[in-house]
A and B are shown apart, each in its own frame.
Chain A
């Protein structure tokens, strides 16, 4: 327990010694983190995503989609006569890790372009770095309009919140002739908050009434309190913009409580798990999505078959589709650019027009958002059936 405190020494000397120690560590940083320089005979594309942490399920799905696209590209002989390599970095579902990951990809791996992130929060954190370094970034699924406002190097392959939210509101009011809605939002999820906002605005504009607004948090499994409250307000439909991880359970518990009005949702509902977890409870739900299996487009069928084969029979969800499409869009842009220089890929990406992706025919608009038509699906006896298609 002897505890010699260095009162004798002047404290400043000690502090100085301390800072010296700190400075000694700095070179270690430079040594420890060794970068691997990309070989010239391959094109390196970076991907960052949440492979671990709270939203790991979306990151891993996207990653599977990207890898599938990569293998197809390389099987066709790569790009510009070179093999393509994808370097993937995990950001643990944290924004600051996303910044580190992107900086590492750009500075250490010398990637020519970056694909990521699913969550708008991580895309927003990382986008300025890509912009500053003039490396094009293509987000597969960040729906917050602000993401692409970070600069002219930032693109996305998915819908933005306003389009999806207002489409569902218009469909519910005009096609389903409903007037009273309840909204159940995931407050921890910007995607959900965004969709809810635009649904609310559009629905009110169309003369409908929002009778109840309740919320939950990502990862919750108990929704009966909120659903019981919603039930007493007797809405004609409940808008649940969220991911299938919670929505299917919400549907179940709603039916258990005798809340039998139709549920409405966004592309987060698109997963085989929705019907697996929800069972009969999700029947009668309407949700907006990128594509419908019944469209019989060859891309869709080929993608789903290959995905199942590669991933032990798993059926792809929206994230996997968008990961695949992002990689394909990027490959297409690099081919058209004929070069791996950032500005040229950027120009080619911006000029993307009528690109036949699995999630629809994509055209990049002036705000660098993907324009594609939205389809409304209805869940009918466990199957997603096509209802209508809305052009952007």
Chain B
């Protein structure tokens, strides 16, 4: 009962997504609705990567890989395993399957590399993303180069945003719990943290696995929203896109990551007319951003701490 009371507001928020979703589907055209859903999925990716890159100070470039694991495992699950289940049961099942599979993959990649210096993690996770793609392409059971289609449209606005809220909440509470201080300590000074008795590797792996889990859930939602998946959706570029969201929002700022996810998703759509200049602008933006404001929009702060009137805002 106590648990329910403490979580009343978020639970209500989660529940509210279904009526809101219905309202949106009645009023907003499907193009806008799709962008809104993409924002939710990207926000989930950005917040979960932020736990790894921003809050724990590691550098992962493999988020698209974990997303792919989640997408393919959940898709295979809904096609071969829970086929025919009612949506209310099938949806949690596939989300859990996708998330856990990605978490497991995160554990396998994280264990050997997280003991080492940061740069190695970047290149190993990048490599992991490539390996996953090669493996999928050579697995005929999940379609290989032909992609995998025919998944039921289990995810919609409501399920995506409900998951996003849960994801944000879990990570937010983790970071702001006493335990969360350990993650920040690892980021600030690993040696000092170890000297204080923090098992740095354990915390790094925890963050990494949790981040991978939510990337997997995002992948599962993505797969069942589009109804067709192909390895071309989960390339290195997708990982970079998520990294850019985290960087733009401010490494370590959860609200920043959400805002950046929304801004970048809208921006890529709005810049459509630029066609082949779009990615050039994107990369120039990234460079200029790092040169002029490397802390991102919000720095390490949250939107609630943003002082619009003060000169010493985020840095």
Contacts and interface: CB of A to CB of B under 8 A. Distances in A.
A and B touch in the complex (CB under 8 A): yes
A5 B270 contact: no
A144 B255 CA distance: 43
Contact of A103 (B31, B232, B254, B304): B31
A387 interface: no
Contacts of A190: 144-147
A189 B231 CA distance: 11
A7 B36 CA distance: 31
Contact of B272 (A15, A94, A104, A186): A104
Interface residues of B, number: 57
Contact of B233 (A51, A52, A54, A96): A96
Nearest to B169: A15
A95 B8 CA distance: 39
A93 B29 CA distance: 25
B125 to A, nearest CB: 20
Contacts, number: 166
Interface in B297-315: 300, 302-305
Interface string A143-156: 01010000000000
B290 interface: no
A28 interface: yes
Nearest to B228: A125
Contacts of B9: 12, 15-16
A302 to B, nearest CB: 29
A22 B255 CA distance: 9
B30 interface: yes
Interface in B72-107: none
A331 B165 CA distance: 48
A176 interface: no
A257 interface: no
A125 B145 CA distance: 14
A194 to B, nearest CB: 7
Contacts of A11: 172-173, 176
Interface stretch (B114-122, B205-213, B261-269): B261-269
What does DSSP make chain B's interface, helix, strand, loop or mixed?
A: helix
B10 A12 contact: yes
Contacts of A317: none
A168 to B, nearest CB: 19
B29 A107 contact: yes
A88 interface: yes
Interface string A180-219: 0000001111101110000000000000000000000000
Interface in A205-262: none
A17 B168 contact: no
B306 to A, nearest CB: 10
Interface string A17-57: 11101100110111011000000000000000001101010
B43 A22 contact: yes
B13 interface: yes
A189 B145 contact: yes
Given A3-B300, A125-B226, A18 B31 contact: no
Contacts of B228: 95, 121, 124-125, 128
A54 B133 CA distance: 15
Nearest to B175: A5
Contacts of B137: 187-188
Dominant SS among interface residues on chain A: helix
B302 A144 contact: no
B149 interface: yes
A232 B276 CA distance: 45
A93 B235 CA distance: 11
Interface string B114-150: 0000000000000000000000011000001111010
B258 interface: yes
A89 interface: yes
A99 interface: yes
Contact of B13 (A16, A52, A94): A16
Contacts of A4: 305
Contact of B232 (A12, A54, A104, A146): A54
Contact of A128 (B176, B227, B232, B302): B227
B10 A95 contact: no
A325 interface: no
Nearest to A104: B31
Contacts of B168: 15, 18
Contacts of B31: 33, 100, 103-104, 106-108
A248 B276 CA distance: 27
Given A15-B169, A94-B232, A29 B144 contact: no
Given A12-B9, A90-B275, A99-B226, 14 more contacts: A14-B302, A15-B168, A18-B255, A18-B302, A25-B263, A30-B32, A32-B267, A51-B276, A52-B275, A94-B235, A103-B31, A104-B31, A124-B149, A146-B149
15 contacts: A28-B262, A29-B35, A33-B266, A52-B276, A90-B278, A100-B269, A103-B34, A104-B269, A108-B31, A121-B145, A121-B232, A125-B226, A125-B227, A188-B137, A192-B145
Interface of B: 9-10, 13, 28-32, 34-36, 38-39, 43, 137-138, 144-147, 149, 165, 168-169, 172-173, 176, 222, 226-233, 235, 254-255, 258-259, 262-263, 266-267, 269-270, 272, 275-276, 278-279, 300, 302-305
